[in-house]
Amino acid sequence: MSDQPVAIVTGASRGIGYAVASALGSRGYRLAICGTREETIRAAAERLREACDADVWPEVVDVREREAVQAFVSGAAKRWGRLDVLVNNAGITRDNIAMRMKPEEWRDVLDTNLSSVFHATQAALRPMMKARFGRIINISSVVASMGNPGQINYCASKGGIDALTRSLAREVGSRGITVNAVAPGFIATDMTAELGEEATKALTSQVPLGRLGTPEDIAHAVAFLASPEAGYITGQVLHVNGGMYM
């Protein structure tokens, strides 16, 4: 078994997931990444190989499907004989006010954002417990703490991630496994770029640092929690939001 560490990042085709994979790849990790579309996840893998000189294994995975996500996680551990870091990043929004929210809008968000975290984590725990080492890092959101109108499904899924993080950290700490979450605030992504100048100004006005965050801001926090320097940190939700929520 090689000494080179292995990290899994779900939802890594673009945005925060891609930035996290890039940060870990540049720090010497071998990467298993997944997304929902063949073309985009393979393109992301090529960019990572060129930028980081990383060993990258891309897969198309529907994280709502328990068997699919667990096969992906177990496959990465078997491929390289170890699993050091799991970053549960995959997520979607299906916004609607509570009175009009359709059952499938609730179900799809909870299945994608929360249930997938449990399924991936369950598969990762076996190799991590055997090694008596592991870093599980879940991507939450500032709205888990603040709430947000029209997003009860998304807020519930991210609040569930925070609670899952704390509970699991207590459960597996004695095995040398840390479990933490990073909660982004407003991040500049393809989605926010489409909002227009006025909407972006309105968002920025709520942030004491006076700017939207970048995917790299989140990636640096994840890389720290994966590092040896964060070995005594577990059960925490690290807010990275420019002071928007204090």
For the stretch 216-237, pLDDT in tens is: 999 999 999 999 999 999 999 9
**What are the tens digits of pLDDT across the range 58-110?**
999 999 999 999 999 999 999 999 999 999 999 999 999 999 999 999 999 99
Tell me how many degrees the CA angle 177-18-197 measures, rounded to the nearest 5. Answer: 125
Here the tokens at position 33 are 């990444």
Q: Which domains does the chain have, with CATH numbers?
A: 6-186+217-237 (3.40.50.720)
Q: How far apart are the first and last CA of the chain?
A: 44
- Given a cut of 90, whether residue 181 has pLDDT beyond it is yes
Whole-prediction pTM: 0.97
Given a contact cutoff of 8 angstroms between Cβ atoms, the answer to whether 184 and 244 are in contact is: no
245 is catalytic: no
For CA atoms 35, 44, 177, 110, the dihedral sign is negative
How high is the mean pLDDT of the chain? 96
Q: Choose, from 18, 29, 154, 232, the residue flagged as catalytic.
A: 154
